[in-house]
Amino acid sequence: MEALKGIRILDMSHVQAGPTCSQLLAWMGADVIKFENPAGDATRGQLRDVPNADSLYFTMLNCNKRSITVNMKTAEGKQVFVDLVKKSDIVMENFGPGVLDRLGFTWEKIHEINPRIVMGSIKGFGSSGPYADFKAYENVAQAMGGAMSTTGVPEGPPFVTGAQIGDTGTGLHLAIGLLAALNQANRTGQGQYVEVAMMDGVMNLCRVKFRDHQRLTRQALSEYSVPTYQGMGEVPRAGNDSGGGQLGNAIHCRPHGANDWLYIVVQEAVWEALANRIGPDIGMPNLATDPKFHSIGERRKNQPLMWTLINKFAEKHTKREFMEILNPLNVPCGPIMSTQDLATDEHVKGREMWVELDHPQRGKWWNVGMPIKLSASPAKIERSPTLGEHTDEVLKFVLGYDDAKIASMKQAGAFSTPPKTPKKAA
């Protein structure tokens, strides 16, 4: 964890998009101080599976961070924020539009406090344009960024993806932007504002669909298994088509359960070997030279029949058996793996992508590991912090506050929610 050693990040983000970004940077060695209001990140209590313990929603997105609770509605709390801004390289937020501004901390003010600091901001639709004030969530971003309209089957409704491309995808985009801005700040001495909109991030991840959108102005999309035509306008939903130049689809295998599928890509270079292997078993020994399939163009035109024939062969094999048949033929393929498959997979555990941790509130639990492997800076994954666990530590050792000052600020309510004033009887 040496890559970002010495970099301090003041992380005001919450829920998923921002915490995804800061957790990744923490795994690279940054000192991430999670700056929470006294009630804490809302996800600490959302979808809770262990009573009185931080939820997995929180713990899986906030590893390797320190937590400090600050009441920004007090003058003392605002001073803590200002002092931390002075000591940080990056500040992050994903509040709704105008929240920080109303607290008196515009980007211009933060830049004035620390000219070198980089500020990362995640918004649903950005800070400009007619959608700027709209609220966004994961699936809203997928809907408005082009993912849902191109996911599913033509005759069915649009689908969201299981992967969190709206939130987590945006967090990954922000991490790239922050590191680029930090590098520039190291050269120039000047920080900058880095903004990533969830809608923009989803559009970027749908880039190949916008490739096809433009191709449709000139031609049909021959690799699609569903009908397309020149001038069609919008890119259709195409089920499990590969979306690339090679044909691909999911094949149902024995015993035909919900996840007994193998995804196969039929490259031009492997067709002959594949056809020679499966042809005799389905009563078509000359499949490789059959005029309906002998060229990539013919296979594209007749791909529904081609997939039917491959499915017929797969009826006798499990997805793992079929994969073992195809691998020696160099056919790109992979089983559809459930969460249970992945949680017990030898390859996954060997790459430390399913990691067991211990937590003082919830005990043993598992997290998805670090997907980026740095040879000279391997990540060491540590548990998420409890609420305010490091408040005194940060105040003393980062800001240099003495015990008397901390006690005075606590007395003023800088780190706690003020008690509610009882309503007077009418």
- Residues labelled as active-site residues: 167
| CA atoms lying within 13 Å on the CB side of residue 398 | 26
User: What beta strand segments (E) does 23-95 contain?
Assistant: 31-36, 65-69, 90-93
Q: Which two three-digit tokens encode residue 245?
A: 């130049």
Buried b (16+ CB within 10 A) or exposed e, 33-57: bbbbbbebbebbeeebeeeebbbbb
Q: Which two three-digit tokens encode residue 185?
A: 């700040």
**HEC-encoded secondary structure of 200-264:** HHHHHHCHHHHHHHHHCCCCCCCCCCCCCCCCCCCCCCCCCCCCCCCEEEEEECCCCCCCCEEEE
Burial class (CB in 10 A: 0-12, 13-18, 19+), 254: middle
Q: Which amino acid is at 197?
A: A
